[in-house]
RNA sequence: GCUCCCUUCGUCUAGUGGCCUAGGACGUGGCCCUCUCACGGCUAAAACACGGGUUCGACUCCCGUAGGGAGCACCA
């Protein structure tokens, strides 16, 4: 169905009435992967025909999210508000071919009918009151006519009423709708602006979209749109409806579930590639593989293997995936990635200390699942004024602990070489001299003095990274502080 | 109410009629490693929504039921 002369063309078409959220990002991802996998074009289109709710601010948020995730688009962003003339043109075409008509019904009238139909247990569809009005009757100025009809009107699609619409969804297989179910939808509102179902079709036709990949909340719109393609004498694209992403309570993902915007995951310290990886695994899989690079995702992605049922966004697994990606980074990369989060904590690192910073941060890489966590957990390296864990101080920096630390401090002070091995030897000597059976009884006081807490990388590693001067300073400080607040 | 869609461990998923005593991963429990915490290794518990068919044989095909979701706008 796709060949070299006809490369695939897909689009991601968010409406700027909110942030780029997880679900939207996944839709964008699948479009992107599909396009890249088949060397096709990925187009970005902003569906901003809802002037009430669309804002430039949201458009910017969406663009920022796309950039962070690395979804480079090949064409666009196109804005529907800039294509109004085009929609008018297509309405004229339909009007001329008697495939659309003017409807003078008021919103109030319609609402009354809608409620009545619903109350009668019927599907609330437009009953076609204006469907067979003579089109030559006086019309308003909307269509460029010079004759004025004082009544307001909108333009409706004259939908075929018999037979069925059948299409083959790439993810779901064959889907059928009875045309009777579909009513005469509005194409142009009374104020002359086009509606969603119409603009998507006109845009997808004129942009030569070959595959429409979108959330399955659009499944019900598809037959209406297909009728429009038919009326426009345009071939219908292939459709792929993606299952939704749910919150832990199996409800549609919303603010209640935490992060609204994908950009929020950036501030939480997630790597964009990890997000791609996790999002891709929601609804799609490739054997037993869990960790994918972007390249692998592009190489392996296949719409046909996308599942049908909705999936729950599990932040714990997302963190695990993130950690897997973090650990695969080089030491330099980890440091560079973590630096902004350290700065967020008020820790500025001089270029001269990058080597120290790299060692410090990387020594903690097993302990932080996000860059933010990594920054938090390695912060002690950079601050001489430690944040004391009260319980730890109470337990390990008591009289006995300090007595031991004093010995340790002396031994460390006399060391000529300062590296993990030398420090370990000195440590062991003190341990033996004091007849401390378990290493933990000497290591913990030392660890608390050095880090403020009972948790850190191996004590010799911490000592080595900190360096002799800084280590002694911290030991002194711990020894000289009678009671830490 | 009507129409359409969905249904494998708590979660993400593998599975396309016999390979399934249903596999992997996250999470959870246990053990090992160990100077703390992690990491890592091993291990355990944990699922085919239900009921009918079809078939020599169904997680896999068909039909119902139940549950969930979406749409039915001059929102997108």
Which residues in A181-204 are b (16+ Cβ under 10 Å) and which e? ebbbbbbbebebbbbbbbbbbbbb
- Cα distances from A192 to residues A15, A56, A131, A155, A269, in angstroms, run 19, 22, 19, 9, 46
Q: Does this complex have an ipTM over 0.90? A: yes
| Distance of A251 CA from B68 C1′ (whole Å) | 10
Q: Residue A483: pLDDT above 60?
A: no
Cα distance between residue A100 and residue A97, in whole Å? 8
The H or E element that residue A473 is part of is: helix A468-480
Q: Phi/psi class of residue A431: alpha, beta or left (left: φ > 0; alpha: ψ in -120 to 50)?
A: alpha
Q: Which of residues 147-176 of A touch strand B (CB under 7 A)?
A: 152-154, 172-173, 175-176
Q: What single DSSP character describes residue A416? A: S
β-pair partners for A9: A41
Q: Give residue-wise pLDDT tens across range A382-437.
A: 998 888 888 888 888 888 888 889 999 999 989 899 999 999 999 999 999 988 88
Banded pLDDT at A253 (limits 50, 70, 90): confident
The structure tokens 């440590």 sit at: A427
Section A272-295 average pLDDT = 96
Catalytic residues of A, which ones? Answer: 255
Pairing of strands A164-169, A154-157: unpaired
Cα distance between residue A292 and residue A325, in whole Å? 9
- Whether the CB of A440 is less than 7 Å away from nucleic strand B comes out as yes
- The alpha carbon of residue A422 and the mean position of all alpha carbons in its chain are separated, in whole angstroms, by 48
| Distance of A106 CA from B73 C1′ (whole Å) | 13
Q: Residue A143: pLDDT above 60?
A: no
Tokens of A72: 């480079």
The structure tokens 């333009």 sit at: A155
- Whether the CB of A197 is less than 7 Å away from nucleic strand B comes out as yes
What confidence score (pLDDT) does residue A9 get?
97
Tokens of A250: 């199996």
| Distance of A275 CA from B73 C1′ (whole Å) | 35
Q: Residue A470: pLDDT above 50?
A: yes
């Amino acid at each position: 169905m796709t060949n070299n002369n006809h490369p695939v063309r897909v689009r991601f078409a968010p409406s700027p009435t909110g942030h780029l959220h997880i679900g939207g990002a996944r839709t964008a991802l699948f479009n992107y992967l599909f396009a890249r996998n088949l060397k096709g074009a990925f187009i970005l289109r902003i569906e901003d025909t809802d002037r009430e709710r669309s804002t430039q601010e949201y458009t910017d948020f969406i663009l920022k999210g796309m950039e962070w995730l690395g979804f480079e688009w090949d064409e666009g962003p196109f804005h529907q508000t800039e294509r109004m003339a085009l929609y008018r043109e297509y309405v004229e075409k339909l009007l001329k071919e008697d495939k659309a008509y003017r409807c003078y019904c008021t919103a109030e009238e319609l609402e009354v009918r809608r409620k009545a139909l619903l109350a009668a247990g019927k599907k609330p569809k437009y009953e076609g009151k204006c469907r067979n009005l003579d089109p030559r009757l006086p019309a308003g100025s909307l269509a460029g006519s010079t004759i004025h009809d004082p009544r307001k009107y909108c333009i409706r699609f004259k939908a075929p009423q018999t037979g069925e619409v059948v299409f083959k969804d790439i993810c779901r297989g064959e889907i059928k709708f009875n045309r009777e179910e579909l009513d005469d939808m509005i194409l142009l509102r009374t104020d002359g602006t086009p509606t969603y179902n119409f603009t998507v079709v006109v845009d997808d036709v004129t942009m030569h979209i070959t595959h429409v990949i979108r959330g399955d909340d659009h499944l019900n719109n598809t037959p209406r749109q297909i009728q429009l393609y038919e009326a426009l004498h345009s071939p219908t694209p292939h459709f792929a409806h993606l299952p939704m992403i749910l919150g832990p309570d199996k409800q549609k993902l919303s603010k209640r579930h935490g992060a609204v915007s994908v950009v929020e995951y950036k501030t939480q310290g997630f790597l964009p590639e990890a997000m791609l990886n996790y999002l891709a695994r929601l609804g799609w899989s490739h054997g037993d593989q869990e960790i994918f690079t972007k390249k692998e995702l592009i190489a392996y992605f296949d719409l046909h293997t996308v599942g049908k049922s909705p999936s729950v966004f599990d932040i714990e697994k997302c963190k695990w995936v993130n950690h897997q990606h973090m650990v695969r980074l080089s030491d330099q990369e980890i440091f560079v990635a973590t630096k902004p989060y350290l700065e967020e904590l008020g820790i500025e690192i001089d270029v001269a200390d990058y080597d120290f910073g790299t060692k410090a941060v990387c020594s903690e890489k097993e302990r932080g699942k996000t860059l933010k966590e990594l920054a938090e957990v390695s912060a002690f390296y950079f601050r001489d004024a430690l944040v004391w864990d009260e319980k730890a101080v109470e337990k390990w920096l008591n009289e006995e602990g300090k007595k031991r630390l004093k010995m340790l401090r002396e031994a460390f002070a006399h060391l000529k070489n300062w590296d993990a091995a030398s420090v370990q030897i000195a440590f062991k000597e003190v341990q033996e001299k004091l007849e401390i059976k378990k290493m933990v009884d000497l290591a913990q006081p030392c660890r608390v003095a050095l880090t403020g807490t009972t948790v850190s990388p191996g004590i010799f590693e911490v000592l080595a990274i900190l360096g002799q001067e800084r280590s002694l300073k911290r030991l002194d400080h711990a020894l000289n502080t009678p009671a830490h607040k």
